Structure 1
Amino acid sequence: MSAAKKALKRYFGYDQFRPLQDQVIQSVLQGEDAIVIMPTGGGKSICYQIPALIMDGLAIVVSPLIALMKDQVEGLHANGVEAEYLNSSQSQKQQAAVLERINQGEINLLYVSPEKLLSQEFYYLLLQLKINLFAIDEAHCISVWGHDFRPEYTKMAYLKKQFPHVPVIALTATADKLTQKDIVNQLGLVEPKVFISSFDRPNLSLNVAPGKDKFKSILGFIRQRPHQSGIIYCLSRKATEGLSEKLKNAGVNAAYYHAGLSAEERAKRQEDFITDEVPIICATIAFGMGIDKSNVRWVIHYNLPRNIESYYQEIGRAGRDGAKADTLLFYSYSDVIVHQRFIEESALKEVSQAKLERIQQFCDAQNCRRKILLSYFGEHLEEDCGNCDVCKNPPSSFDGTIIAQKAFSAIVRLKEQVAAGTLIDVLRGSSRQEILNKGFHKIKTYGVGKDISYQDWQQYLLQLLNMGFISVAYDHANALLLTEQGREVLFGERLVNLIHLAKMKSEPKPKPIIKTQKQEAREGLFEALRKLRLHISREEKIPPYLIFSDASLHEMAQEEPTSELEMKLISGVGVKKYQLYGELFINEILEFRQNKNREAKKSGESFYQTYEFYKQGFSVEEIASIRKMNNLTIYSHLASLYEKGADIDLLEYLNSSELERIGAAYHSLNETSNLKDLYLFLHEEIEYYKIRLGISYLKVLSS
């Protein structure tokens, strides 16, 4: 394990293993089979890469996607690790070159697809080599109970039969007990140790919103996060194309991705996303499993995922570097209906139905979402997470009995033969021809719910469905049926509480954050380092995150390393990374410091000159004339100097009445320093310079 720790620092730049990594590595080094379940971004690959680096021989890694292999091998090369892959994307000449390196013993890790592993020629190659480890990545694909089943994976049991003394390690981000058991049986693992890491990803914020005004919400969400990379998952190919087009028309650099594109086009769009040429991708679930991009800062689900496993794996593609990342899931009645149709055609109806109900319960949660998510994976969280929408803004409920009774009465009067859309049209008094032709406008409850919008009715019906008051006859055109509990509500024997629907504006204004000069400088340095990283990545034609992760850049901005020793203490800076990029980033930090000092000195000198004239008795107008500046600038100097403790009498320039009014406005506007906002609030009756002086006086008074 001493050698393992040295390899971790040398190649990956980390001082410590993450939880469970060292235990898995120890097990592999002892020749034991293992199942490793770690969340996306939890460090699964280290569990087999480190043993491969310190053991004699070659490690074989089975990976389901060509793009994933390419990504991981490029990442290993960037860290100075000798790794290669063999797959159908290579020419015969390229494959021959890889085979030559294998025969020369130059490679530590070889990535192959399950199809390649099962080929006869590859089997003969394995017999000639010293194999130290088989690692089966994305191992849930081996199980019919997993969410990405791959038939080829089920034929890999021959590995243990032909190579009984070589440890096999199966790795996945999500696998319930049924899937774990299936993995053991399908691979023929011998008394494997099972390592289950915490599924908690505290860096991910969890948010769920009603599926209304989705585009406006998404646009506001993106505009609050400039320069960030993100994925928007959609249920259909058509939705990815439409959303991508609308975003581009709104000036957002986005593209779409789905299985209907040609292989060349899919590869191109994936490459553009990985290299940040196109930072935002609208995609079906066909996208993502092959992405090892660490700087995805957010994931949006445009539609409800089919189960919690899929949701968890997809949000896990954000924040893989451990830095803060956001997730947003839109939840609508129509999505539930679509999933139900899929379930009706499924061979695993009961399991699929149960899993859909669990994701619905997660969306309807009135308590900490992270607790619900973790409990699904058998993990208990003691305290509320504080980083989900429910924790930050606990939902409020109201007595919705009358709303429910209106809906239930209409369902009964329509003889439980209409779907939700028609029911809502009747409640809202629609004059749609079909409603009139069928005589639905004549029933007593026609139009009783016209004060509620169509989208809000959808959300209320969804709540009532999930509470068990209504059900859906999926085999009868999705007609709504009233349950026994629903009848109790209809006849006044039971009350119903509904949740107030969340209101998301198109561009919600975040609460003003007052940043210190140090915080602003840190953010400025991070942005300078990010731009340098992007410049290098485009010159070298490699993804930015392969140079340094966002987490490493944030740490550099915090610590400001200016020597080799200091830079190598930054997490993620190994020997090879320092050799390639260390000095470039140190120079950028030094240049940023010099510019900052230069600006501070220049600003300080200017303020000092103003103060010297003030002490000599010159008026503001005279100082402005001498220094060739406007009066407001000089007043601003005096205000800043006063805040720093200079002996200046600000009350010389404004009276007590003006100061009182400025104070009232300042506190009414949440202590904003925006002069224009204060000027307008004061009905343009107090001059800008007096407002500036008044704010400084109040700040010093309250400090």
Structure 2
Amino acid sequence: MYLDQDFEQLSTERPTTSGRDPEQVLHEVFGYETFRPLQGDIIREVSEGRDALVLMPTGGGKSLCYQVPALVRSGTAIVISPLIALMQDQVAALKELGVKAAFLNSTMDFEQARATEYALMTGELDLLYCAPERLIQPRTIELLHSASIALFAIDEAHCVSQWGHDFRSDYLQLSMLAEAFPGIPRIALTATADERTRKEIAERLSLTKAKHFVSGFDRPNIQYRIAPKTNANKQLLDFIKAEHEGDCGIVYCLSRNKVDATAKTLAQKGYTALPYHAGLPAEQRSHHQERFLREDGVIIVATIAFGMGIDKPDVRFVAHLDLPKSLEAYYQETGRAGRDGKPSTAWMVYGLQDVIKLRQMLEGSQGNDQFKRVERQKLDAMLGLCEVTSCRRQVLLRYFGDELDEPCGNCDTCLNPPETWDGTVAVQKALSCVFRTGQRFGVTYLIDVLRGSENERILQSGHHQVSTYGIGTELSVSEWKSVFRQLVANGYLRADPDGYGALQLTEQCRPLLKGKHTIELRKDPAVKKTSSRASGGRASSPVKDQITDQAGWEALRACRKALANKQGVPPYVIFHDTTLFGMLERKPRTLEELAEVSGVGAAKLEKYGEIFLETIAGLEPA
């Protein structure tokens, strides 16, 4: 491939380190005093030229694990990131810190791309973000060979896994980095990977000899809550109104139509709710994402097409109106809440139709038997979390190989322990009814038979004469729906793979029908409004609930917003809420005092210090 001669003539010989140590970079550039658990070990490993595989929860500080080594080592760090749309904000945030960062992707014109390539070749960049499809192009590889590379960081590394929920085929070719650039350290990072996926990441990225750093998966600030689906839109509106009025949040739906309808419903109730899915024009998606990142109180309603790599720290809730396909997907999506460490909610409603729909999609997919077997296991684990009567957090963490010694005290099953009941007789009636009606009907029809409905369909079919007709009047319709949901979730019944919603018996139900086993069922809780902010959980109050000087808080936010608008970046790129809160608490009077506030690094102190000191001075009583 052709490369300009001026590029080829540039010298790439440099020392391996910049002379700064990691702690110095952390304090001077990022404004923090100490590393979080594991960060220091990971950063030293990569800074000294060794490979690493990092698993760290969303909001745990993964980006520092390659950004600090990028500034410690000489040369340019190449960051492989899967979403072009988010690179601009990530680069903008680094530039605000005084870091020389850029991106290289297909949105740039020829002159912009050439200028960025020249900056790489002349050693003017600390970090260069690049999409995987761009990186693997022969010209890009040749360009990198002519530059001085500090390290390769492969973000969202779970995209390499063919068992994963975010598989990207371009990631499979990144294994060539080991052979093409020997001696240059590589760090792969992800927030979501069970043991199988971790092994696959290591093998596919040629990181089998890399040291693994597995941080705890627990996000104690997130309260996990799952409720039976009755009227999803009303439940969502009640939840937001009671607990997250004015907050920023994400609502996930399975289909594009449901995304559009839900966003419209929220908007009609006065919320700033914007749809996001692959069926919308790219320009509209980009605009909605930009508003979400830069404005307060925006709710994005989206399919799973939205969210990977989102750095917005103050997302206060993530809601699911449909069941995710796996615990990996659920953990990844809920992890977008509370990146700032402040109390947030992962709220979900799910019902029998969710289970039936996902099982039908799985069985009707084009995957081979091994693929379907793995997907069944993942769906079963997701359903297990929904129906568990013990601590949800313990179940979730155990799936990822992490352990929590005691119940968390900050999930719905801890705060309001569900009741159980001996459902053996009811289950035998339900299973027998499925058999007696020929395994050809859905749950609504089966409940009508059990409760002795005299509708025309039952009378015409003759099912008013079967032995199970009218034997289930002791349970309400909603109680029977709960019974059938749990039977499908636990594998005693399966949905007809042909897609008509008929329920069929599985071999697993035989001992129950013959009376050899008993079964305990979960009693669905009565619907009542509760507030996660007054739930007695172990999470502390949100930042805004701790503020006593509301006028001062609004003044600091207005100052930040004005600077963000001027710079064309999201407000959190200037300073996070927690940094503003630190200013409000300390009320620094000098630049030296302001530098002591967590999150105020040298570059931001120089750029914004005087402006914020002036604002803080104006808060003092006359």
- Give the conservation status (yes or no) of the 8 Å contact 2:57–2:216: yes
* Equivalence for 1:374: 397
1:179 partner SS: helix
Measure the CA separation in 1 of the matches of 2:273 and 2:475. Answer: 35
2:21 partner SS: helix
1:60 partner SS: strand
- Give the conservation status (yes or no) of the 8 Å contact 1:216–1:506: no
* Equivalence for 1:664: none
Of 380, 390, 409, 1:357 maps to 380
Say if 1:255 and 1:431 are closer, same or farther in 2 by CA, change over 3 A. Answer: farther
* Equivalence for 2:299: 280
Measure the CA separation in 1 of the matches of 2:476 and 2:611. Answer: 57
Unaligned runs of 5+ in 1: 599-703
- Tell me how far 1:284 sits from its aligned partner: 0.3
Question: Which has the larger helix fraction?
Answer: 1
Matched, 1:144 2:144: no
Measure the CA separation in 1 of the matches of 2:546 and 2:135. Answer: 51
Measure the CA separation in 2 of the matches of 1:573 and 1:193. Answer: 32
Matched, 1:248 2:271: no
What does 1:110-149 correspond to in 2, within 5 Å? 110-149=128-167
1:59 partner SS: strand
- Give the conservation status (yes or no) of the 8 Å contact 2:252–2:301: yes
Of 436, 445, 453, 1:422 maps to 445
Of 77, 81, 101, 1:63 maps to 81
- Tell me how far 1:147 sits from its aligned partner: 2.0
Measure the CA separation in 2 of the matches of 1:135 and 1:312. Answer: 22
* Equivalence for 1:578: 605
- Tell me how far 1:309 sits from its aligned partner: 0.6
Measure the CA separation in 2 of the matches of 1:46 and 1:490. Answer: 57
* Equivalence for 2:565: 538
**Cα distance per residue 1:286-314 (max 9 Å; x no partner):** 00014221121110111111001111111
Of 162, 183, 203, 1:185 maps to 203
* Equivalence for 2:285: 266
Measure the CA separation in 2 of the matches of 1:493 and 1:116. Answer: 60
Of 331, 338, 352, 1:319 maps to 338
Q: Which amino acid aligns with 1:556?
A: M
- Tell me how far 1:267 sits from its aligned partner: 0.9
2:340 partner SS: coil
Say if 1:103 and 1:368 are closer, same or farther in 2 by CA, change over 3 A. Answer: same
Say if 1:476 and 1:289 are closer, same or farther in 2 by CA, change over 3 A. Answer: closer
Matched, 1:196 2:214: yes
- Give the conservation status (yes or no) of the 8 Å contact 2:247–2:297: no
Corresponding residue pairs, total? 592
Measure the CA separation in 2 of the matches of 1:247 and 1:25. Answer: 44
- Give the conservation status (yes or no) of the 8 Å contact 2:355–2:489: no
Measure the CA separation in 1 of the matches of 2:87 and 2:374. Answer: 32
Measure the CA separation in 1 of the matches of 2:101 and 2:532. Answer: 47
464-473 vs 65-74, which deviates more? 464-473
Say if 1:165 and 1:493 are closer, same or farther in 2 by CA, change over 3 A. Answer: closer
Say if 1:65 and 1:433 are closer, same or farther in 2 by CA, change over 3 A. Answer: farther
* Equivalence for 1:105: 123
2:348 partner SS: strand
TM (normalized to structure 2)? 0.88
Of 199, 218, 237, 2:256 maps to 237
**Cα distance per residue 1:562-612 (max 9 Å; x no partner):** 433332222212122223333444444444452xxx8xxxxxxxxxxxxxx
- Give the conservation status (yes or no) of the 8 Å contact 2:397–2:403: yes
2:548 partner SS: helix
- Tell me how far 1:89 sits from its aligned partner: 0.6
Say if 1:522 and 1:499 are closer, same or farther in 2 by CA, change over 3 A. Answer: farther
Matched, 1:300 2:319: yes
* Equivalence for 2:3: none
1:69 partner SS: helix
Matched, 1:438 2:490: no
- Give the conservation status (yes or no) of the 8 Å contact 2:195–2:401: no
- Tell me how far 1:274 sits from its aligned partner: 0.8
2:346 partner SS: strand
* Equivalence for 2:556: 529
* Equivalence for 2:579: 552
**Cα distance per residue 1:310-336 (max 9 Å; x no partner):** 111111111112222111121211111
Say if 1:394 and 1:324 are closer, same or farther in 2 by CA, change over 3 A. Answer: same
Q: Which amino acid aligns with 2:27?
A: K
* Equivalence for 1:42: 60
* Equivalence for 2:436: 413
Q: Which amino acid aligns with 2:441?
A: V
2:60 partner SS: coil
Measure the CA separation in 2 of the matches of 1:220 and 1:492. Answer: 42
- Tell me how far 1:550 sits from its aligned partner: 2.5
Q: Which amino acid aligns with 1:367?
A: S
473-482 vs 373-382, which deviates more? 473-482
- Tell me how far 1:417 sits from its aligned partner: 2.8
- Give the conservation status (yes or no) of the 8 Å contact 2:229–2:351: yes
- Tell me how far 1:43 sits from its aligned partner: 1.1
Q: Which amino acid aligns with 2:383?
A: Q
Q: Which amino acid aligns with 1:212?
A: T
* Equivalence for 1:462: 485
- Tell me how far 1:201 sits from its aligned partner: 1.0
- Tell me how far 1:429 sits from its aligned partner: 4.8
Of 226, 240, 243, 1:222 maps to 240
**Cα distance per residue 1:130-182 (max 9 Å; x no partner):** 11211111111122122211111112222221211111111111222332232
Q: Which amino acid aligns with 1:576?
A: A
- Tell me how far 1:57 sits from its aligned partner: 1.0
174-183 vs 331-340, which deviates more? 174-183
TM (normalized to structure 1)? 0.79
* Equivalence for 1:630: none
Measure the CA separation in 1 of the matches of 2:165 and 2:566. Answer: 39
- Tell me how far 1:451 sits from its aligned partner: 6.8
Q: Which amino acid aligns with 1:358?
A: A
Say if 1:407 and 1:70 are closer, same or farther in 2 by CA, change over 3 A. Answer: same
Task: Please identify the structure whose Cα radius of gyration is greater.
Answer: 1
* Equivalence for 1:614: none
* Equivalence for 2:5: none
- Give the conservation status (yes or no) of the 8 Å contact 1:254–1:278: no
- Give the conservation status (yes or no) of the 8 Å contact 1:528–1:588: yes
Measure the CA separation in 2 of the matches of 1:26 and 1:512. Answer: 41
Matched, 1:383 2:406: yes
* Equivalence for 1:80: 98
- Give the conservation status (yes or no) of the 8 Å contact 1:323–1:551: no
**Cα distance per residue 1:242-288 (max 9 Å; x no partner):** 11111111111101111111211111111111112661011000000
Percent identity over the alignment is 44
Measure the CA separation in 1 of the matches of 2:288 and 2:360. Answer: 31
Measure the CA separation in 1 of the matches of 2:122 and 2:257. Answer: 50
1:156 partner SS: helix
Unaligned runs of 5+ in 2: 1-18
- Tell me how far 1:435 sits from its aligned partner: 3.6
Q: Which amino acid aligns with 2:318?
A: V
2:236 partner SS: helix
Q: Which amino acid aligns with 2:523?
A: H
Matched, 1:394 2:417: yes
458-467 vs 312-321, which deviates more? 458-467
Measure the CA separation in 2 of the matches of 1:430 and 1:509. Answer: 41
- Give the conservation status (yes or no) of the 8 Å contact 1:323–1:550: no
1:521 partner SS: coil
Measure the CA separation in 2 of the matches of 1:17 and 1:510. Answer: 29
Say if 1:163 and 1:425 are closer, same or farther in 2 by CA, change over 3 A. Answer: same
1:157 partner SS: helix
* Equivalence for 2:16: none
Say if 1:241 and 1:448 are closer, same or farther in 2 by CA, change over 3 A. Answer: farther
Q: Which amino acid aligns with 1:320?
A: R
